[in-house]
Structure 1
Amino acid sequence: MDVTRLAAVDTARAARMLSEVRSARLSGRPAPVAARPVIEQSWDRMLRSGVDPDHDFRSGLLSREEVQRRRETSALRHVLPVLREGLLSVADVTHQIMVVADDEGRVLWREGSPRVLRKADGLGFELGADWREDVVGTNGVGTPAVARRPVQVFAAEHFVRSHATWTCAGAPITDPRDGRLLGVVDVSGPLETMHPATLAWVDSVAKLAEARLRERHQRSLERLRAVAAPVLARLGGRALVVDRDGWTAAVTGMPYTERVALPKSPAGGPNWLPAIGPCTVEPLDEGWLLRAAQEPVPGGAARILLDLRQPRRWSVQVQGSAGPWTRELSPRHAELLYLLAVHRGGRSAAGLAEDMFGDPARTVTVRAEMSRVRRYLGAYLEHRPYRFCEDAEVEVLLPEDPRDLLPHSTAPAVAKRRTASVPAP
């Protein structure tokens, strides 16, 4: 039974049923119905992390000055008009509020019905509050941030008992430039405001916000391109101009590369970059001028470290003959590189499609993603089948608990790995 749909017809009955499901889960008894998978997975994380279901724990609020500082530095400030236009008018009519939190789960903006805002205060849902999942339990801010997908949390689906009078639907907002989580937008209210369509509504507005961020990025590249054109026209040899995140604005004398993997803090002068090889790096307006050297790209053995220990902080680190460099990974690329590290003998496109989607026919998607991976890691990857080079030493750093491996991932092969090392109850 879909309890969230039942709630649209009979809120009280649905809430009672979820309370029974939650009590059964906490006590180890059979539940009358199964919790939704995304909620069950969150509850499992809460039980393992030690969140107390019977006590409302609240960490210290950020100061007003710190909230303001985060607002001024967050990319979410650019999409607040989109979020307000898409959510606030309806939220106010339905007696709900809109909440926007940053990537650390801190509430930075909160708007809507004054009556509901006062009720939210009673739950600790205040400006500057910490609503990470491992602090306050399953909720519409922290859980979407971990799952990296829209999540609706109704009544006793909240892990902490005192939140069972509340309903919320949250969707993550990611940076289109690098896939990094920027924060979560959430619509919340008292139990009776629950509606099964709310999640789709919030998710659609979050996607509009991401589209607005893509538009801003394209405009910034156009501005950089105007600056770069006369500079590149005067240069000989191979060169390109990229923005601070490595996205290409202009290129001369070499094939177009959509994005270049840059160090976190590029230094001017001689350097070595995976997509170019030896080069010089010079600041140019809001980006970098990269001038390729004439020497061949260095080869030789390399040590590759795939760090998957921290949620949303996945990275690949390469130590080669030209020196070390690190790149943060999107959720999809973290999955792909993990699977290649597990299968050192290699995987075909069909094999990776089976691993990722349970469907060996989805090879087009796999090849497109692997093409993007090869733009920054191509010197250390082979294809037919896809695999790490034989002379590359590959090490994977995993979470202490195997169930915390890439918690956002729904890939069958990853899900199997998450449970393979877990002893049966």
Structure 2
Amino acid sequence: MTTDGVFDPTAHARLMQQVFEAVLAGDRAPVAPRTLVSESWQRSLAAHVDPDRRTPPVVLGEEDVPPLREAHPLNAVMPLLRSTLVSIADEAMHVMIVTDADGLILWREGAASVLSSADEVGLIPGTRWTEDAIGTNAMGTTLAVDAPVAIHSAEHLVRTYHTWTCAAAPVHDPDTGTILGAIDISGPLHTVHPAMKQLVAATAQLAEHQLRVRLALEDERLRLRNMPHLASLRGQAGALVTSTGRIVASEPYGVWPERVAVQPGVDRVVLDDGREVIVEQLAEGYLLRAPHRGTPAKPRSALSLRFTGEGSPTAVLDGRSIPLTLRPAELLAVLALHPDGLTAEQLALMLYGEEGNPTTVRGEILRLRGLIGSDVLRTRPYRLDAIVDTDFEAVRRALRARRPADALRSCAGPLLPRSDAPAIRELRAELEVGLRSIVLESDDVDLLAEFATHPLGRDDLEVHDRLMALLPPSDPRRAGIAARRVHLLF
């Protein structure tokens, strides 16, 4: 809600209060709450959070918080967060809060007057702020949806916080991609600024970047200290692996996965491609090496699949292009997604649905083996015996790692757009929805502009609306985006 083009937090709070009361009473609301908010309310109410009587649970006493801070990964970026957010929070009469992945407040800094108000409502270190503990709030909701959020006034489920506004963003581990915690700015609703969410999201990205730099330095130190172990293999296949399973050096290059699931205490592990390797525990991480064989193993074939985009699907096997029509491409895509192999019955279901016939699949397999060879397409079960690289799996990896730019640049368009196979339709929808969501959530103008010209985004009105809101008037891209937006409207 705006007054003369300026956001009016008080008027908006009044409207949200009307919406809140109507929804809880089961009456018709003057406007619908945001989807993000209504879904959070549903989760919170399902967890039996009482909007009228609720305080955040105190999980830790004051004396128990410092050791957790010291051990937490976000402790390394607290100087950055203080220099970026605390001074702004002081001036805006807000408080900066940092939680762990379980919603436990570990740090809280800001203006003394706001800290006093925060004490009164339980915004203190040692309390837990997940949705199931205290209902809809920026910290808990950002952890629930894994995206930056802003919660204003009566969008909080618990009435106590209707005089507060907050914005939060998750921070991810650059090693594993898991959430480390949330960064939050909270304050009285009259101090709200529409850019709060963007500020917190940008700060979270800065924190992740700093963690990524620290990780790269740690990787380099691990390599330098442990390269003698790899060199001792004298050219035999081997790899140095971090304690979390990331490969940081390998021999030969290009035949190892990015990660290996290594459990403490095991002496052997089977890779995704079926190879068994020996695990040797090092002082830090592991050394993987191939077991000694009487005769050298035959090098595995390399198969590259490019199936996204509006052109014809392409396959390259050991540097040789393989001509593909739609059905063998669908078959290769499904096999690439299931490296452990599938039966004819499973393939029939994935390619044809409930009416699929295993006999038809066996005929397709026979024709595909004629194209790529029986040493690459194995039977019992049907599987690809090759080092497989696909564009659609590259998009999936980037989406899981929250790398929107990498995901967008790995995707040339819809996956096998002419395919009606159930497994392909499902993966196509997963990639398209995931890519659209991660780009829109980023609020990165350059990334949004790139997506607006992409086959998956050029007809997306919301993308063009977001760009028009974010692009400055002087940006030369604005005219083209505006023209395209008009075309989409009419």
How does the TM-score come out when normalised to structure 2? 0.61
**Alignment match, 2:305:** none
Structure with the bigger percentage of strand? 1
**Alignment match, 2:38:** 40
Contact 1:91 1:112 in 2 (8 A): yes
Of 109, 112, 115 in structure 2, the residue corresponding to residue 111 of structure 1 is 109
Which secondary structure state, in structure 2, belongs to the residue aligned with residue 347 of structure 1? helix
How many percent identity over aligned positions? Answer: 37
**Alignment match, 2:423:** 347
Contact 2:105 2:126 in 1 (8 A): yes
Q: CA deviation at 1:10?
A: 2.5
Contact 1:186 1:202 in 2 (8 A): yes
Hey, what's the Cα distance between the residues in 1 that align with 2:116 and 2:171? 26
Hey, what's the Cα distance between the residues in 1 that align with 2:273 and 2:165? 47
**Alignment match, 2:258:** 259
Hey, what's the Cα distance between the residues in 1 that align with 2:287 and 2:222? 11
Structure 2 CA distance for partners of 1:186 and 1:359, relative to 1, 3 Å = closer
Structure 2 CA distance for partners of 1:360 and 1:138, relative to 1, 3 Å = closer
Hey, what's the Cα distance between the residues in 1 that align with 2:137 and 2:7? 22
Hey, what's the Cα distance between the residues in 1 that align with 2:397 and 2:134? 26
Q: Deviations over 1:139-181 (max 9, x none)?
A: 0110100010011011101000111011100000111111111
Letter in 2 for 1:242: V
Q: Deviations over 1:353-402 (max 9, x none)?
A: 3344259999xxxxxxxxxxxxxxxxxxxxxxxxxxxxxxxxxxxxxxxx
Hey, what's the Cα distance between the residues in 2 that align with 1:271 and 1:127? 42
Hey, what's the Cα distance between the residues in 2 that align with 1:207 and 1:158? 25
Hey, what's the Cα distance between the residues in 2 that align with 1:56 and 1:250? 52
**Alignment match, 1:367:** none
Structure 2 CA distance for partners of 1:189 and 1:333, relative to 1, 3 Å = closer
Contact 2:19 2:31 in 1 (8 A): yes
Structure 2 CA distance for partners of 1:151 and 1:359, relative to 1, 3 Å = closer
Structure 2 CA distance for partners of 1:188 and 1:207, relative to 1, 3 Å = same
Q: CA deviation at 1:300?
A: 7.9
Of 233, 236, 239 in structure 2, the residue corresponding to residue 235 of structure 1 is 233
Contact 2:55 2:121 in 1 (8 A): no
**Alignment match, 1:312:** none
Q: CA deviation at 1:85?
A: 1.3
Of 192, 195, 202 in structure 2, the residue corresponding to residue 194 of structure 1 is 192
Letter in 1 for 2:429: E
Hey, what's the Cα distance between the residues in 1 that align with 2:240 and 2:130? 38
Hey, what's the Cα distance between the residues in 2 that align with 1:162 and 1:359? 35
Hey, what's the Cα distance between the residues in 1 that align with 2:254 and 2:428? 29
Q: CA deviation at 1:67?
A: 1.2
Matched, 1:74 2:72: yes
Structure with the bigger percentage of helix? 2
Hey, what's the Cα distance between the residues in 2 that align with 1:38 and 1:216? 34
Letter in 2 for 1:34: A
Ranges in structure 2 where 5+ consecutive residues have no aligned partner: 301-338, 344-395, 402-420, 438-490
Letter in 2 for 1:262: A
Structure 2 CA distance for partners of 1:229 and 1:145, relative to 1, 3 Å = same
Letter in 1 for 2:258: R
Contact 2:7 2:194 in 1 (8 A): no
**Alignment match, 2:118:** 120
Runs (4 or more) in structure 1 with deviation over 6 Å come to 4-7, 295-302, 359-362
Which secondary structure state, in structure 2, belongs to the residue aligned with residue 12 of structure 1? helix
**Alignment match, 1:245:** 244
Contact 1:99 1:111 in 2 (8 A): yes
Hey, what's the Cα distance between the residues in 1 that align with 2:173 and 2:157? 29
Q: Which one has the largest radius of gyration?
A: 2
The total of aligned residue pairs comes to 329
Structure 2 CA distance for partners of 1:113 and 1:181, relative to 1, 3 Å = same
Higher RCO (C-alpha 8 Å, min separation 6): 1
Letter in 2 for 1:118: S
Hey, what's the Cα distance between the residues in 1 that align with 2:144 and 2:202? 19
Structure 2 CA distance for partners of 1:146 and 1:331, relative to 1, 3 Å = farther
Structure 2 CA distance for partners of 1:282 and 1:166, relative to 1, 3 Å = same
Alignment of 1:24-423 (within 5 A): 24-236=22-234, 237-253=236-252, 255-257=254-256, 259-263=258-262, 265-274=263-272, 277-293=275-291, 332=399, 347-348=423-424, 352-358=427-433
The CA RMSD measured in Å over matched residues stands at: 3.5
Letter in 2 for 1:282: E
